[in-house]
């Protein structure tokens, strides 16, 4: 299973042999281990629960993760199609599960931008500022007389950002086992020190 919990360190750039400069996001892999293996027979689906980092836990959660011999700060779950014998509770995970050239998808929470209008949030056009135009940044018509309501999902002003975002088909360009760092080509959602999930792209 190629999946890890990581913390976004920041961005840098690398220069390939061809002289092409490529943006790279560095992701830190903190000490991780499998805390639970979910099966179809017991839970109705197959998944691996992974814990990362270290923290002081309450008694209930501490009892749950006790077999894994770690007290993780972050716990996330990864769905798997089939479980193999090498996936056991307490097994440690490291950046070595990925190799340079692997394609992955990274999931994180995007930066929150606060309350934003339709122009910034949905790329609406500005209204004209000549010939008597007064609708410079207004959203315009949001519905007709029938059915006397606004449909859900209508593009309007509102909270922008701070939502779960997945970026697919990013290539791994660096695997550093000494510092437990993985380098991924391109940008990854979220701020520095934000938690992201790395999973093999299929």
Boundaries of domain holding 150: 116-161
Q: Which two three-digit tokens encode residue 128? A: 């004209």
User: Is residue 18 pLDDT above 90, yes or no?
Assistant: no
Q: CA-CA distance, 118 to 125, in Å (whole number)? A: 9
105, 121: one domain: no
The pTM assigned to this predicted structure is: 0.85
- Per residue in 136-153, pLDDT tens? 999 999 988 888 999 999
174 is written with which tokens?
């660096």
User: Once rounded to an integer, what is the mean pLDDT over residues 63-68?
Assistant: 92
Same domain for 108 and 81, yes or no, is yes
125 in the same domain as 111: no
Residue 27 shares a structural domain with residue 53: yes
If asked whether residues 180 and 109 sit together in one domain, one would say yes
């Amino acid at each position: 299973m190629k999946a890890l919990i990581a913390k976004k360190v920041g961005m840098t750039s690398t220069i390939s042999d061809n002289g092409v400069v490529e943006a790279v996001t560095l992701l830190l892999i903190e000490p991780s281990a499998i805390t639970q293996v979910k099966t179809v027979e017991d839970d109705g689906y197959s998944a691996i629960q992974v814990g990362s980092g270290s923290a002081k836990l309450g008694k209930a959660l501490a009892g749950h993760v006790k077999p894994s011999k770690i007290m993780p700060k972050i716990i996330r779950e990864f769905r798997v199609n089939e479980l193999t014998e090498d996936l056991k509770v307490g097994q440690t995970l490291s950046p070595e599960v990925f190799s340079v050239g692997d394609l992955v998808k990274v999931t994180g929470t995007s930066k929150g931008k606060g309350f934003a209008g339709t122009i910034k949030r949905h790329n609406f056009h500005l209204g004209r500022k000549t010939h008597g135009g007064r609708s410079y940044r207004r959203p315009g018509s949001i519905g007709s007389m029938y059915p006397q309501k606004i449909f859900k999902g209508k593009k309007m002003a509102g909270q922008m950002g701070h939502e779960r975002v997945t970026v697919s088909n990013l290539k791994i360009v660096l695997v550093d086992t000494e510092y437990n760092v993985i380098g991924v080509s391109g940008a990854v959602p979220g701020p520095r020190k934000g938690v992201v999930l790395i999973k093999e792209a299929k």
